[in-house]
Amino acid sequence: MTGFIDGLLNVSPVVAYIAVFCLVFAEDALFVGFVIPGETAAVLGGVVASRGEVQLGAMMALVVAAAVIGDSVGYEVGKHLGSRLMKTRLLSRHSGRLDNAQDFLRRKGGTAVFLGRFTAFFRAVMPALAGTSRMPYGRFLAYNAAGGVTWGIGFVLLGFLAGNSYEAVAQAAGRDLAVVIAAVAVAALITWHFRSRRRRQRPATSRQKHDGGNS
């Protein structure tokens, strides 16, 4: 892994863009996440940006696009291959964790798609499980995009701020830091939900007062 990381940090900008995109995309579409977690590639993309070799905004956009597109491909794989996919040698070795992921998806629905983005195993299998369960694609895409944007920007920015301390960050990225980023994202979603609800209630309250005043 160290050789791979050093190699990625010493390639041309174009190759860095392509490598990061392919790794993040393949994690969800092709289950490469069992070998190389996508957050490692995202963090390294931020590190390359911190060295001035690529644009930070472009790397963020690239990682987000790769995450969302990769999840969509994983969804289609699960939708069309279904139970046959779960019986493959790669996934049959993780049957217990797959059962947990399927139970999480049944209980939480779209929220599981969003939160699954922040756990390596769930990130690799959740899109396919959503497709297998026939979750409506529009609903899947909404939660998938929200998770991809939060995760992609968060981990690329993390690598950008870490700079040369990337090794410690990459090792922790799949554990504590993922939990922190997910917690912040959930808190932001809850805040947005209640503010939107208040805004919808205000016009109704105003109309009731107005009608009462006229009676």
Listed in sequence order, the residues at least 6 apart from 130 whose beta carbon sits closer than 8 Å to its beta carbon are: 75, 78, 105, 113, 140
3 state SS of 93: coil
pLDDT at site 89: 72
pLDDT at site 99: 85
Return the amino acid letter for 56: L
pLDDT at site 176: 46
The encoded tokens of residue 18 equal: 């392509």
On average, the pLDDT of the chain sits at 78
Q: Write the DSSP string, 106-157.
A: HHHTHHHHHHHTTSHHHHHHHHHHHHHTT--HHHHHHHHHHHHHHHHHHHHH
pLDDT per position as a tens digit, 34-48: 566 678 889 889 988
pTM: 0.73
pLDDT at site 6: 66
pLDDT per position as a tens digit, 160-174: 988 766 655 555 555
Q: How far apart are CA 129 and CA 147, in angstroms?
A: 16
Report whether 100 contacts 127 (CB < 8 A): no
At CA 55, angle to CA 50 and CA 61, rounded to 5?
A: 110
Profile the chain (215 residues) by mean pLDDT over runs of 10 residues: 64 88 84 68 89 92 95 90 73 79 89 88 88 92 94 92 66 50 53 64 56 53
Q: How far apart are CA 195 and CA 197, in angstroms?
A: 5
